[in-house]
Amino acid sequence: MGRKVVECVPNFSEGRDLNKIREITGAIEQVDGVELLDVDPGGATNRTVVTFIGSPEAVAEASFQAVKKASEVIDMREHYGAHARMGATDVCPFVPVSGVSMEDCVNIARVVGRRIGEELKIPVYLYEEAAASPERTNLANVRSGEYEGLAEKIKDPHWKPDFGPAEFNPRSGATAVGAREFLIAFNINLNTTDKRYATDIAFDLRLKGRSKRSGNIHPFYFKGDIVRYEEVRFPCGPCDFIATSLTELEKHYQEVHQLDLKEVLSFFEYEYDEAWLKGKPVKIFGMFDHCKAVGWVIEEYNRAQISINFTNYKLTPPHIVVEEARKLAARMGLIVTGCELVGLIPYPALLEAGKYYLQRQGHSTAVPYPDILEMAIQSLGLREVASFEVEKKVLGLPEPTGKLGRMPIDQFTDEVSRDSVAPGGGSIAALAGALGSALASMDAAITALKPEYEEVFQDMIRIGENAQRLKAELIQIVDRDTEAFNDVFSAQRLPASSPQEMETRSKAIEEGYKKATLVPFKTAELCFQALELCHEVARKGNLNSVSDAGVGAVMASAGVFGAGMNVLINFPNLKDRQFVAELKQKLEFLQDQTNALREEILSLVYSNINKLRKK
């Protein structure tokens, strides 16, 4: 179960005055729930790039506070630098890292953008995925004219800000707020110091491709002369079609390739006119979109590298590109010796890489997430030229297990046995469900490895992955259950010296008890899901490990009833009788289902054990 993590990378028009920069980053760090990852000031550009992460709510608040502080300490009338800019906070993009969607980040951008416009009176333009119109998608278009041209630009109705006043703000300029995908900076290492080989492979990998060369065939494209169009021609890059006019070619791109010819020409930086190919290089497309690649040599490592920026790892995963690079390198007699991550990588990207390599080896992907990440790290060679610490390099890791979840078994049982109310029955119920899930995952993994169970291989992978998810959630609840009454305790400490205060206190206590009651009910629901997985592995899984499925079922069903007791014991403290009646009905139904399913599983388990005894 991953956390909801959003990254924000605001760029501020100040790179020389460290005191001002510290004031801005200080405003970010004062917000609970955010982590400041990087502050990169540039003197020549007079610009600082800041990177921080956190929950959606925390990042939204921290970004606003940073923009507010920047508007107080930066005066654009005194700013100059080498980098294009139009405001004190020039850009403020939100990036989905883990547990959030691009749509979520678009919503954050719009909420924060509106707040900047309304509260700070700074004109705001939405860009990238958050753009309200196509022409504002590209940041370069939004920022054209920069700060110096903003006073005139903002008068144009076509460039009315999305939020804030349509008036020039001489002190703060304007701010572009947007949402974009996470950018992964990634290097692929080769066993050569010849830059040409790295460049050649880079050209094959990136969609923009290369200029065609004559007299040679792959893998030595870089040794030929560039082929240029000697006359006006209208060929199609993706196929061998040659049109008789630009209009015909435009129609061909649309109908056959579903591409806009103007966008393709812009991609190759060609002008859209009737003589657009004469004298220009013949282009060959590469393999991957959202993949910007070049070749270079790093003297420190004494090797050539293919340096790649992945602008959308969800559509072009790094591990798939690495595998293609390995094939291309082999054709040249080269070896990919490993990879280097520059900066950070989102948890889902590395997780998918680990699953990919486990699947290629015929192993189950239903293993704890640290094992999957380690498979990815080893398979990609991410420790070849530098250390790779998962906690420092991977964004959006699942929530760390709490104090109880991290305890050794003997210490945990000692803690339970002491004369304190927590950890109590609710935590034990969650732990029982987690153990039931773990046994379901183990049974599924053992089955998946057996050739005679090939028909249910995909079922076992699905069961195992779901069991791992349930295990992680229930381990979290082991600690969460001990915290369930925090709101009740806080409410009981509220003042009650007047009728109004007494009413407020009473309502707070009621809400606290409701929240505390729903925690064990959630535990019961998750334990029942674990019971269902045990049922499935008992029916389809390895006959020789059917007893493990049975033990898992007993543990999971114990979790359902144990958690249910913790629901029932809270009912007398609740005044909302409708809430009590509805939750009691749901719990009774869940327990009836648990009884029936447990008996079915145990009957199946004992029957299969008897079959084994007769063999």
Q: Is residue 131 part of a domain?
A: yes
Do 200 and 153 lie in a common domain?
no
**Mean pLDDT score, 293-318:** 90
Do 422 and 502 lie in a common domain?
yes
Q: 130, 158, 179: which is the final residue of a domain?
A: 179
Do 173 and 193 lie in a common domain?
no
pLDDT at 273 (0 to 100)? 54
Q: Which residue is it, tokens 């889902």?
A: 348
Domain that holds residue 571: 409-614
**Mean pLDDT score, 97-108:** 93
363-388 pLDDT tens trace: 888 889 999 999 999 999 999 988 89
Using the 8-state DSSP alphabet, how is residue 271 labeled?
-
Using the 8-state DSSP alphabet, how is residue 389 labeled?
-
Q: Is residue 402 part of a domain?
A: no
pLDDT at 176 (0 to 100)? 97
Do 175 and 188 lie in a common domain?
no
Distance CA 20, CA 26 (A): 10
Using the 8-state DSSP alphabet, how is residue 212 labeled?
-
For residues 320 and 283, which has the higher predicted lDDT (pLDDT)?
Answer: 320
Q: Per-residue pLDDT for 230 more than 90? A: no
Give yes or no for a cis peptide into 161 (omega within 30° of 0): no
Do 165 and 218 lie in a common domain?
no
Q: Is residue 391 part of a domain?
A: no
505-541 pLDDT tens trace: 999 999 999 998 999 999 999 999 999 999 999 999 9
SS (H, E, C) 528-593: HHHHHHHHHHHHHCCHHHHHHHHHHHHHHHHHHHHHHHHHHCCHHHCCCHHHHHHHHHHHHHHHHH
Using the 8-state DSSP alphabet, how is residue 288 labeled?
B
Which three-class secondary structure state does DSSP give residue 289? Answer: coil
Cα-atom radius of gyration of the chain, to the nearest Å?
A: 30
Q: Indicate the pLDDT class of residue 603, thresholds 50, 70 and 90.
A: very high
Q: Is residue 369 part of a domain?
A: no
Q: What are phi and psi of 194, to 5 degrees?
A: -90, 110
pLDDT at 604 (0 to 100)? 94
Give yes or no for a cis peptide into 10 (omega within 30° of 0): no
Lowest mean pLDDT segment, chosen from 194-198, 240-244, 273-277, 472-476: 273-277
Distance CA 7, CA 59 (A): 7
Do 524 and 419 lie in a common domain?
yes
Do 38 and 165 lie in a common domain?
yes
Do 168 and 192 lie in a common domain?
no
H/E run at residue 123: none
H/E run at residue 26: helix 18-29
What is the DSSP code string of 302-324? Answer: TEEEEEEEES-TTTS-HHHHHHH
Do 213 and 120 lie in a common domain?
no
Q: Per-residue pLDDT for 210 more than 90? A: no
CATH number at residue 268: 3.30.70
What is the DSSP code string of 68-119? Answer: HHHHHH--GGG---SS--SBSEEEEEEEEEES--HHHHHHHHHHHHHHHHHH
Which three-class secondary structure state does DSSP give residue 401? Answer: coil
Distance CA 117, CA 139 (A): 18
Q: What are phi and psi of 367, to 5 degrees?
A: -130, 165
Q: Give the total number of structural domains in the chain.
A: 3
- Chain CA centroid to CA 321, Å: 19
Distance CA 537, CA 543 (A): 9
Q: Per-residue pLDDT for 350 more than 90? A: yes
483-513 pLDDT tens trace: 878 888 888 899 989 999 899 999 999 999 9
**Mean pLDDT score, 580-593:** 96
Do 162 and 193 lie in a common domain?
no
- Burial of 116 from C-beta contacts in 10 A (0-12 / 13-18 / 19+): buried
Q: Is residue 395 part of a domain?
A: no
For residue 515, the one-letter residue type is K
Distance CA 381, CA 375 (A): 10
Distance CA 270, CA 259 (A): 16
Q: Is residue 389 part of a domain?
A: no
Q: 331, 366, 397: which is the final residue of a domain?
A: 331
Distance CA 106, CA 177 (A): 9
What percent of the chain is modeled with pLDDT above 90?
60
Q: 152, 179, 206: which is the final residue of a domain?
A: 179
pLDDT at 328 (0 to 100)? 94
Mean confidence (pLDDT) of the chain: 89
Distance CA 90, CA 153 (A): 16
Q: Is residue 350 part of a domain?
A: no
CATH number at residue 446: 1.20.120.680
Confirm if 125 and 173 have CB atoms less than 8 A apart.
Answer: no
Q: Is residue 300 part of a domain?
A: yes
321-336 pLDDT tens trace: 999 999 999 999 999 9
Do 139 and 190 lie in a common domain?
no
Q: Per-residue pLDDT for 26 more than 60? A: yes
Distance CA 182, CA 282 (A): 32
Query: What is the set of active-site residues?
Result: 83, 481
Do 27 and 118 lie in a common domain?
yes
Confirm if 288 and 321 have CB atoms less than 8 A apart.
Answer: yes
